[in-house]
């Protein structure tokens, strides 16, 4: 197991190194300058700023400096927000994204599991069809369409909730629900298929033959076995949700990372774009690693046979 983790961590660093390099190259290819939209600057002032941020150095020099800083955890300084270093900026925005993401993840997973369980246990009944329809809608309808619909119905039309901005916990309800549709659909579909497969397995037949009741079979035997593989599916979803949603945050004007990212794109704020990209990547890779390790811990078949997959 330890060998496996070390190997995975090594790959993780290679991935991150390549992503950082790739992002750097893309940034240098990017047309436009971060100062284009800024205040009207004279050529001299512009030169001063370029000099200060090292933008006049040869590109290899900039690259080495950037990578060096990254290794120290320094993502650079935002051009847009004066004096704000990117790390601080991301951390300050992270809170909102994390709250939304965590709420959506918990709510979505629970609802999805319940729907999937009902569908599998009451196969081919109205319950099954109902939950399948919800799952299909959740998979199919893009989150931003759903967010806009929620906003129109519950905030514009009925005014139950705020249209946008972060005022209190109430502001997080609509965006969280919009974000939860994904995990609901994924969990419901996955749990349904897994449960049906598990329920038709020999050991469920044996459990029945032992005299176990319907509830014991569903929860003691089938549920756990269906739940374990769900972790692998939900891992990347969790990473995406916790790092903020670009559009849903924009629609509801939530001051999170996603909204910040879109803003930086529109203002060519290199440092923030690169910093955020790196942050997203680290988050995703680390979560996937954690999920794989977790899976090994929870599933006795993997845990005790010693190796990875």
Partner 1 sequence: MEKIIEVKDLELSFHTFAGEVKAIRGVNFEVFKGETLAIVGESGSGKSVTTKAIMRLLPESSTEFKNGQILFDGKDLLKTSDKDMQKVRGKEISMIFQDPMTSLNPTMPIGKQIMEPLLKHQKLSKEEARRKSIELLSLVGMPQPEQRMKQYPHQFSGGQRQRIVIAVALACNPKLLIADEPTTALDVTIQAQILELMKDLQKKIETSIIFITHDLGVVANVADRVAVMYGGQIVEFGTVDEIFYNPQHPYTWGLLSSMPSLDTTEEKLYAIPGSPPDLLDPPKGDAFALRSEYAMKIDMEEKPPLFKVSDTHYAATWLLHPDAPKVDPPAAIVERMKKFPGSRYYEGSAGGGR
Partner 2 sequence: MSNDVKNFPKDAFDRITVDGKHAEKISKPSLNFWQDAWLRIRKNKGAIVSMFILIFLVVMAFVGPYMVPHDPENVRVSHANLPPKVPGLEKLGIFDGEGKLGSKTVNLYELKKVEEYYWFGTDSLGRDLFSRLWKGTQVSLYIAFVAAIIDMIIGVIYGGISGYYGGRVDDIMQRVVEVLIGIPTLVIVILMIMIMEPGIWSIIIAITITGWIGMSRIVRGQVLKFKNQEFVLAAKTLGASDSRIIGKHLLPNIMAIVIINIMFTIPTAIFFEAFLSFIGLGLQAPHASLGTLINDGYKFIQYQPHILFFPAFILSLLMIAFNLIGDGLRDALDPKMKD
> Is 240 in contact with 73 (CB distance < 8 Å)?
no
- Scan residues 214-253 and list those touching partner 2 (CB under 8 A): 239-240, 243, 246-247, 250-251
- For 142, the 3-state DSSP assignment is coil
Q: Is 285 in the site for partner 2 (CB under 8 A)?
A: yes
54: left (phi over 0), alpha (psi -120 to 50) or beta: left
- Scan residues 135-164 and list those touching partner 1 (CB under 8 A): none
| Span near partner 2 by CB under 8 A; candidates 57-65, 101-109, 131-139, 293-301 | 131-139
Rank residues 36 and 48 by Cβ distance to partner 2 and give the closer one. 36
Return the residue of 54, 68, 142, 306 that touches partner 2, per CB under 8 A: 142
> Hunting for tokens 């284009």 — which residue is that?
36
Binding mask 218-257 for partner 1 (x = CB under 8 A): --xx--xx--x-----------------------------
Kindly state the tokens that stand for 27. Answer: 């940034």
Q: How many residues does the structure list for the chain? A: 309
**Partner whose footprint covers residue 209, from partner 2, partner 1, none (CB < 5 to 8 Å by kind):** partner 1
CB of 155 to partner 2, least distance (A): 10
Q: Is 102 in the site for partner 2 (CB under 8 A)?
A: no
CA distances from 43 to 39, 40, 50, 72 (A): 12, 10, 10, 33
Rank residues 102 and 302 by Cβ distance to partner 1 and give the closer one. 302
Rank residues 29 and 215 by Cβ distance to partner 1 and give the closer one. 215
Residues contacting 151, CB < 8 A, separation 6+: 163, 164, 174, 251, 252
Residues contacting 94, CB < 8 A, separation 6+: 244, 256, 257
Kindly state the tokens that stand for 257. Answer: 């990372």
Return the residue of 21, 45, 56, 213 that touches partner 1, per CB under 8 A: 213
Q: How far apart are CA 187 and CA 256, in angstroms?
A: 25
**Partner whose footprint covers residue 233, from partner 2, partner 1, none (CB < 5 to 8 Å by kind):** none
Helices then strands, each counted (H, E), the chain: 15, 0
Return the residue of 1, 149, 206, 297 that touches partner 2, per CB under 8 A: 149
Rank residues 109 and 277 by Cβ distance to partner 2 and give the closer one. 277
Q: Is 23 in the site for partner 2 (CB under 8 A)?
A: yes
**Partner whose footprint covers residue 290, from partner 1, partner 2, none (CB < 5 to 8 Å by kind):** none
Rank residues 117 and 173 by Cβ distance to partner 1 and give the closer one. 117
Q: Is 67 in the site for partner 2 (CB under 8 A)?
A: no
Q: Is 31 in the site for partner 2 (CB under 8 A)?
A: yes
- For 308, the 3-state DSSP assignment is coil
Q: How many residues bind partner 2 (CB under 8 A)?
A: 44
Q: Is 212 in the site for partner 1 (CB under 8 A)?
A: yes
- For 79, the 3-state DSSP assignment is coil
> Is 23 in contact with 278 (CB distance < 8 Å)?
yes
Q: Is 73 in the site for partner 1 (CB under 8 A)?
A: no
| Spacing of C-alpha 25 from chain mean position | 25
> Is 100 in contact with 170 (CB distance < 8 Å)?
no
> Hunting for tokens 């005790």 — which residue is that?
304
């Amino acid at each position: 197991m330890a060998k496996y983790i070390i190997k995975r961590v090594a790959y993780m660093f290679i991935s991150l190194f390549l992503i950082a390099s790739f992002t750097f190259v893309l940034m240098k290819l990017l047309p436009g300058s971060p100062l284009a939209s800024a205040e009207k600057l004279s050529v001299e002032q512009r030169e001063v700023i370029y000099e200060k941020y090292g933008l006049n150095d040869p590109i290899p020099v900039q690259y080495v400096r950037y990578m060096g800083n990254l290794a120290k955890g320094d993502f650079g300084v935002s051009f847009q927000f004066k004096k704000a270093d990117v790390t601080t900026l991301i951390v300050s925005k992270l809170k909102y994204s994390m709250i939304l993401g965590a709420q959506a993840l918990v709510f979505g997973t629970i609802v999805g599991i319940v729907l999937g369980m009902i569908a599998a246990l009451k196969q081919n009944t109205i319950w099954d069809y109902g939950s399948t329809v919800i799952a299909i809608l959740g998979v199919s309808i893009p989150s931003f369409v759903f967010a806009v619909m929620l906003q129109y119905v519950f905030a514009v039309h009925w005014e139950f909730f705020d249209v946008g901005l972060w005022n209190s916990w109430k502001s997080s309800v609509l965006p969280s629900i919009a974000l939860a549709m994904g995990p609901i659909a994924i969990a419901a579909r996955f749990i349904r298929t897994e449960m049906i497969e598990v329920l038709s397995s020999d050991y469920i037949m044996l459990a029945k033959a032992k005299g176990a009741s319907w509830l014991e079979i569903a929860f003691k035997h089938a549920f756990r076995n269906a739940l374990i593989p769900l972790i692998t599916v939900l891992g990347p979803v969790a990473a995406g949700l916790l790092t903020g949603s670009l559009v849903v945050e924009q629609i509801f004007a939530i001051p999170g990372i996603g909204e910040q990212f879109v803003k930086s794109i529109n203002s060519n704020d290199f440092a923030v774009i690169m910093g955020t990209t790196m942050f997203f990547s680290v988050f995703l890779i680390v979560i996937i690693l954690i999920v794989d390790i977790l899976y090994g811990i929870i599933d006795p078949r993997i845990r005790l046979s010693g190796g990875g997959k």
